[in-house]
Amino acid sequence: MTVGEKSGNTGRAEVLNGPFTTRQLLRLDDALRGADESTGLTFSVYVGELDQPVRGHAEKLHSQLNDPDHSVLVAVSPNLRVLEIVTGHEARRRVPDRQAKLAALSMAAAFSGGDLAGGLVAGLAQLAGQAGKH
Partner 1 sequence: MFAGIPAAVIAIIYGLVYATSSASNSKRYRPGRPFNQSTVWFIANTPGAAVAGHAAREIGAGAGSHALSGGTADSGATTHGAHHHDAAEAGHDGSGLTTVGYGETGGASDSW
Shortest distance in whole angstroms from residue 61 CB to partner 1: 7
User: Per rule CB under 8 A, is residue 15 in the interface with partner 1?
Assistant: yes
User: Per rule CB under 8 A, is residue 108 in the interface with partner 1?
Assistant: yes
Q: Which of residues 30-89 bind partner 1 (CB under 8 A)?
A: 32-33, 35-37, 42-49, 51, 53-57, 59-66, 68, 72, 78-89
Nearer to partner 1, 101 or 134 (CB): 101
- What phi-psi label fits residue 81: left (phi over 0), alpha (psi between -120 and 50 degrees) or beta? left
The Cα-based distances of 123 to 17, 23, 32, 53 in angstroms read: 23, 18, 11, 23
Question: Would strands 42-47 and 82-87 be described as parallel, antiparallel, or unpaired?
Answer: unpaired
